[in-house]
Amino acid sequence: MARFVIRRLLQSGVVLLGVTLVVFLLLQLVPGDPVRVALGTRFDPQTYEALRARAGLDQPLVAQYFNYLGRALTGDLGVSFRSGRPVTSIVLERLPATLSLAVTAVVFAMLIAFPLGVLSAIRSGSFIDHAARVFSQFGVSVPDFWMGIMGILLFAGVLGWLPPSGYVALTEDPARWASHVALPAATVGLVTASILTRFIRSSMLEVLSEDYVRTAEAKGLRTRVVVLRHVLRNALIPVVTVVAVQLASLLGGVIVIEVLFAWPGIGRLTYDAVQARDYPVLQGAVLLVAALFLLVNLLVDILYARLDPRITVR
């Protein structure tokens, strides 16, 4: 296991290196001068040249990239053009908001999807099965921003139960954090739950048709025992992959939802950086998202071996 983890970490380093190169090259294709945007319409040539020199933009592209790469290896992702603050600090400040939203949304989705998907598979063709499939199709088809707007109109505007936007840190006030995270997490969680419900149902149906399940039923075991002991664990393998992909995507920031609910996460930070052409912040945010994706994938591979002893990691 230790050798596997070390090898995957080395591979992740290579992937992150490729990400930095691709993002750096793509940013060079964006028209406009980020320094001029940062300074506004009124600036003197001395200030302009000083900021370009500070950002290293007065050097050749190859030197710019390797200077950025060298600093990134030490944790220095540069300085924001817009605020003048270190990018590492800015990105890490936004990470807790994204983590809290992503984890809450995934937990909310799993609380809906697992019982609904399992019951749908066990009682295939029943009313519950049809309702689960309608819910899954609805969640995939309806845009999340529309559900978010409807949620704001209903729960914040009409009923007045929840705040329409804003963010309070969990460590600052758990009750206020819960009230603020409820709407965005429910909006994202419903979409995630609809995707998970479909995968759980199909995975359960596939395992239920296996010979060893029919043998267990022929022995007289109750349906509850068969599902919990023989079906559910084997059906979790593909489901874990989908959950991990959804979690990694949410950790990357749900830009539309974060903008809609004024949620100060990675997605909102990326959106603001694009608007302001704040390239160092944009590069830092993309690098963090890539690292989170790789970390989640590594944890999933390790979890596979725990769920199914037939899967070995080498």
> What's the pLDDT band for 39 if we cut at 50, 70, 90?
low
- pLDDT at position 197 over 70: yes
Separation between Cα atoms, residue 184 and residue 258, nearest integer Å: 8
Q: Are 183 and 261 in contact (CB under 8 A)?
A: yes
Q: Are 55 and 78 in contact (CB under 8 A)?
A: yes
171 and 108 share one domain: yes
Share of the chain above pLDDT 70, in %: 90
Separation between Cα atoms, residue 189 and residue 122, nearest integer Å: 24
Share of the chain above pLDDT 90, in %: 0
DSSP string, 67-128: HHHHHHHTT---B-TTT-SBHHHHHHHHHHHHHHHHHHHHHHHHHHHHHHHHHHHHTTTSHH
Of residues 307 and 139, more confidently modeled = 139
Burial class of residue 314, CB neighbours in 10 A (0-12, 13-18, 19+): exposed
- Type of residue found at 287: L
Query: Mean per-residue pLDDT for 180-207?
Result: 86
283 and 138 share one domain: yes
Of residues 242 and 307, more confidently modeled = 242
In a domain, 147, yes or no: yes
6 and 150 share one domain: no
- pLDDT at position 55 over 80: no
Task: State the total domains in the chain.
Answer: 2
In a domain, 312, yes or no: no
- pLDDT at position 25 over 60: yes
In this prediction, residue 277 carries a pLDDT of: 79
Separation between Cα atoms, residue 258 and residue 244, nearest integer Å: 20
In a domain, 54, yes or no: yes
Q: Which of 58, 87, 116 is the last residue of a domain?
A: 87
- pLDDT at position 282 over 60: yes
Query: Mean per-residue pLDDT for 279-288?
Result: 85
Q: Return the exposure string of 14-50: e unless at least 16 CB atoms fall within 10 Å of the residue's CB, then b.
A: eeeeebbeebbeeeeeeeeebbeebeeeeeeeeeeee
- pLDDT at position 87 over 80: yes
In a domain, 17, yes or no: yes
147 and 294 share one domain: yes
pLDDT, tens only, 127-146: 888 888 888 888 878 888 88
Separation between Cα atoms, residue 191 and residue 194, nearest integer Å: 5
What residues does 86 pair with on adjacent strands? 79
Question: DSSP label at 265?
Answer: S
Q: Which of 35, 68, 87 is the last residue of a domain?
A: 87
Query: Mean per-residue pLDDT for 110-127?
Result: 85
Q: Strand locations in the chain, DSSP E?
A: none
254 and 107 share one domain: yes
In this prediction, residue 14 carries a pLDDT of: 85
Query: Mean per-residue pLDDT for 165-181?
Result: 86
165 and 188 share one domain: yes
Q: Which of 87, 111, 136 is the last residue of a domain?
A: 87
296 and 192 share one domain: yes
> What's the pLDDT band for 302 if we cut at 50, 70, 90?
confident
Separation between Cα atoms, residue 152 and residue 165, nearest integer Å: 8
CA–chain centroid gap for 254, Å, is 7
In a domain, 314, yes or no: no
27 and 145 share one domain: no
CATH number at residue 178: 1.10.3720.10
Of residues 300 and 172, more confidently modeled = 172
81 and 126 share one domain: no
Query: Mean per-residue pLDDT for 25-52?
Result: 71
In a domain, 184, yes or no: yes
Show the domain range for 148: 93-307
Question: Which residues lie closer than 8 Å to 302 by C-beta, 6 or more apart?
Answer: 1, 5, 313
Separation between Cα atoms, residue 132 and residue 301, nearest integer Å: 29
pLDDT, tens only, 243-265: 887 887 787 667 888 888 888 88
Query: Mean per-residue pLDDT for 222-229?
Result: 72
Q: What is the mean pLDDT of the chain?
A: 80
20 and 75 share one domain: yes
Of residues 139 and 213, more confidently modeled = 139
In this prediction, residue 1 carries a pLDDT of: 66
> What's the pLDDT band for 313 if we cut at 50, 70, 90?
low
In this prediction, residue 28 carries a pLDDT of: 75
In a domain, 108, yes or no: yes
In a domain, 231, yes or no: yes
In this prediction, residue 192 carries a pLDDT of: 87
209 and 287 share one domain: yes
110 and 256 share one domain: yes
Separation between Cα atoms, residue 89 and residue 144, nearest integer Å: 30
